[in-house]
């Protein structure tokens, strides 16, 4: 039964009905607008933003979003090529600018776009061909109908090898430096750098930006050879990038780089260096990178050439120590190794550890070479990493394999459930198997006790680490807020490891804890069996 009240002569039933209709209409309206806008936005990798009006100081019109590949296909229908819109410079290369060579600004550029674009659109319309807009608001749209899906294009070892093979190993076609005396670009063998070393994100003086030089020279080369991508999508569409042929094991790039080197401070800092040098297998690390820039930035110089002990302007004030150990840098040794810890085989332990935490052996694992002061006299004696790899028999363990318990009984919290029987040795064997399959892990986990610290994270290394309850209280303790309670510590450690390593997951308590029955009584967690430790 509906109850009707009257407010100043009006039925509240009717009033609420009107409100309800308005709410529904608003919801449908907003929902419809959202869906319509989302479905109408076209994702394209070829969108170029033309901001000629903004650069001229006109803020009344937004920039134009220009679909480049659509126009390339359009002029191809008419038997025309890039010269329809782009001029060639003195090197016979197409300029990336529209119908001009210089980077002009102002009304003249606006007129250039307006006159030529609108004229072309009208010509196509007269010929009954698909045509573009001729009205201001259709180009300078307040609400865009397309959005960029452009993906950054990289140049890895595989692409480098394909280009090198195609050009008969003529490196001078791409690599050059500017000779101040000759006032021209020259090629110097053995001093090749990344293109990005000179060609920065923005153009500087007469040096083109990385984007400009890539589009101008790479595309011109592709057009001249009629090979390789010749439109935006060919390089910047995600699906087309994935379809590019890759060489699984490309030959090594030869730039006179060493196979092995003892990493040290620069010559002026040798007397000040305190830590021993680091034996470094350069050739082995190359196989785990995509480009030389992964470590060497853009110049491809040795780290110590730019980064000194005190830091200098060339290295942007970054000291050698920070350059090698910065956790946040993809170029540093420690930063790169830290990323590897997220791999499936490693994450079980490392995802639960404090980031950047090092074991007591960490420094000596790397710094095993001769001291900086002795480097000059002994450097020629070392040719590979083998001279610094200890024999397996020489690695000292604090306990033998027989001392590792098969099972751990976790029963200190047993109340509703039976104590948990954990296959202790199997967990260690699984971790050891994962380590043996990785050269990196094998190098940094040569001391077996390090494995124990995956679970016993704050315990001293030894045969019998203290119980978890030594740090984690059973009951809540306001004086030890940072530490988890014991139950939380167990669950976080076990579940966290299983989740990280993609082990079978369960939310059912009895999967690990057998539920007690009334007749069972209280099970003592302090029983001791052979091959069992009690937690």
Does residue 125 lie within any of the structural domains?
yes
Nearest to 461 by CA among 406, 534, 408, 398: 398
Shared domain check, 87 and 25: no
Shared domain check, 326 and 305: yes
Does residue 1 lie within any of the structural domains?
no
Shared domain check, 485 and 443: yes
pLDDT tens for the chain, residues 1 to 535: 333 334 334 444 444 444 444 443 444 444 444 444 445 789 999 999 998 888 777 788 899 999 999 999 999 999 999 999 999 988 888 888 999 988 888 889 999 999 999 999 999 999 999 999 999 999 999 888 999 999 999 999 999 999 999 999 999 999 999 999 999 999 999 889 999 999 999 999 889 999 999 999 999 999 989 999 999 999 999 999 999 999 999 999 988 899 999 999 999 998 888 899 999 999 999 988 999 999 998 888 999 999 999 999 999 999 999 999 999 898 999 999 989 888 888 988 888 887 777 766 778 889 999 999 899 889 888 988 888 876 554 445 677 778 888 998 888 777 778 888 889 999 888 888 888 888 888 888 877 677 888 888 877 766 778 888 888 888 877 766 667 888 888 888 888 898 888 887 666 788 888 887 755 444 444 433 444 555 5
What is the share, in percent, of the chain residues with pLDDT greater than 70? 85
Shared domain check, 209 and 88: no
Q: What is the CATH number of the domain that holds 218?
A: 3.90.10.10
**Tally of domains within the chain:** 5
Per-residue pLDDT reduced to its tens digit, 401-454: 788 889 988 887 777 788 888 899 998 888 888 888 888 888 888 776 778 888
pTM: 0.75
**CA-to-CA distance for 403 and 503, rounded, in angstroms?**
27
The SS3 assignment for 64 reads: strand
**CA-to-CA distance for 27 and 133, rounded, in angstroms?**
34
Shared domain check, 113 and 61: yes
Per-residue pLDDT reduced to its tens digit, 186-236: 999 988 999 999 999 999 988 999 999 999 999 999 998 999 999 999 999
Shared domain check, 268 and 223: no
For residue 74, what are the domain limits? 42-148
Does residue 111 lie within any of the structural domains?
yes
Given 363, 387, 411, the domain boundary residue is 387
Given 352, 387, 422, the domain boundary residue is 387
Does residue 363 lie within any of the structural domains?
yes
**Radius of gyration for the alpha carbons in the chain, expressed in angstroms and rounded:** 34
Shared domain check, 122 and 206: no
- How is residue 525 written in tokens? 């967690």
Per-residue pLDDT reduced to its tens digit, 242-288: 999 999 999 999 888 999 999 999 999 988 888 999 999 999 999 88
Shared domain check, 109 and 30: no
Does residue 114 lie within any of the structural domains?
yes
Shared domain check, 232 and 297: no
Q: Which value, to the nearest 10 degrees, does the dihedral of the CA atoms of residues 206, 207, 210, 216 take? A: 60
For tokens 């002029």, name the residue.
75
Shared domain check, 370 and 270: yes
Shared domain check, 402 and 314: no
Does residue 412 lie within any of the structural domains?
yes
Cβ burial, residue 278 (10 Å; 0-12/13-18/19+): middle
Does residue 251 lie within any of the structural domains?
no
Shared domain check, 233 and 105: no
**CA-to-CA distance for 105 and 84, rounded, in angstroms?**
21
Residue by residue, DSSP assigns 400-421 as -GGGS-SEEEE-TT-SSBPPEE
Given 362, 387, 412, the domain boundary residue is 387
**CA-to-CA distance for 306 and 269, rounded, in angstroms?**
13
Does residue 286 lie within any of the structural domains?
yes
């Amino acid at each position: 039964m509906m109850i009707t009240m009257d407010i100043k002569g009006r039925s509240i039933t009717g009033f609420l009905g009107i409100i309800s209709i308005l709410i529904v209409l608003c919801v449908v309206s907003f929902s419809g607008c959202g869906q319509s806008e989302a479905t109408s936005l076209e994702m394209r990798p070829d969108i170029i933003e033309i901001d000629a009006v903004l650069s001229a100081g006109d803020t009344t019109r937004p920039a134009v979003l220009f679909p480049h590949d659509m126009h390339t296909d359009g002029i191809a229908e008419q038997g025309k090529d890039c010269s329809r819109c782009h001029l060639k410079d003195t090197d016979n290369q197409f300029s990336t600018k529209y119908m001009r060579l210089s980077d002009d600004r102002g009304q003249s550029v606006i007129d250039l776009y307006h006159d030529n674009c609108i004229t072309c659109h009208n010509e196509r319309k007269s010929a009954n061909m698909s045509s573009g807009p001729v009205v201001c608001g259709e180009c300078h749209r307040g609400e865009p109908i397309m959005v960029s899906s452009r993906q950054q294009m990289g140049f890895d070892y595989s692409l480098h090898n394909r280009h090198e093979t195609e050009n008969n190993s003529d490196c001078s076609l791409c690599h050059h430096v500017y000779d101040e005396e000759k006032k021209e670009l020259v090629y110097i063998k053995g001093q090749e750098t990344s293109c990005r070393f000179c060609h920065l994100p923005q153009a500087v003086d007469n040096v083109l930006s990385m984007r400009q030089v890539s589009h101008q020279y790479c595309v011109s080369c592709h057009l001249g050879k009629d090979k390789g991508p010749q439109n935006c999508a060919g390089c910047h569409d995600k699906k087309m990038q994935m379809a590019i042929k890759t060489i699984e094991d490309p030959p090594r790039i030869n730039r006179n780089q060493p196979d092995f080197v003892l990493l040290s401070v620069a010559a002026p800092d040798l007397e000040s260096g305190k830590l021993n040098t680091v034996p470094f297998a350069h050739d082995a690390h190359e196989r785990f990178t995509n480009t030389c820039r992964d470590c060497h930035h853009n110049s491809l110089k040795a780290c110590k050439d730019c980064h000194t002990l005190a830091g200098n302007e060339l290295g942007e004030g970054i000291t050698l120590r920070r350059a090698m150990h910065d956790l946040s840098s993809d170029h540093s040794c420690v930063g790169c190794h830290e990323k590897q810890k997220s791999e499936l085989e490693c994450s079980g332990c490392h995802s639960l550890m404090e980031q950047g935490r090092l074991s007591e052996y960490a420094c000596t694992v790397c710094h095993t070479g001769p001291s900086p002061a002795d480097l000059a006299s002994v450097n020629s004696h070392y040719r590979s990493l083998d001279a610094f790899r200890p024999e397996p028999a020489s690695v000292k363990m604090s306990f033998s394999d027989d001392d590792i318990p098969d099972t751990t009984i976790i029963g200190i919290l047993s109340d509703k459930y039976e104590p948990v029987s954990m296959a202790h040795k199997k967990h260690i064997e699984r971790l050891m198997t994962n380590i043996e399959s990785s050269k990196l892990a094998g190098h940094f986990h040569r001391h077996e006790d390090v494995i124990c610290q995956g679970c016993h994270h704050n315990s001293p290394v030894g045969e019998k680490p203290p119980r978890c309850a030594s740090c984690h209280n059973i009951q809540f303790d306001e004086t030890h807020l940072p530490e988890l309670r014991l139950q939380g510590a167990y669950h976080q450690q076990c579940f966290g490891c299983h989740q990280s390593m993609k082990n079978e997951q369960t939310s059912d308590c009895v999967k690990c804890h057998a539920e007690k029955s009334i007749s069972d009584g209280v099970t003592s967690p302090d029983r001791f069996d052979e091959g069992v430790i009690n937690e």
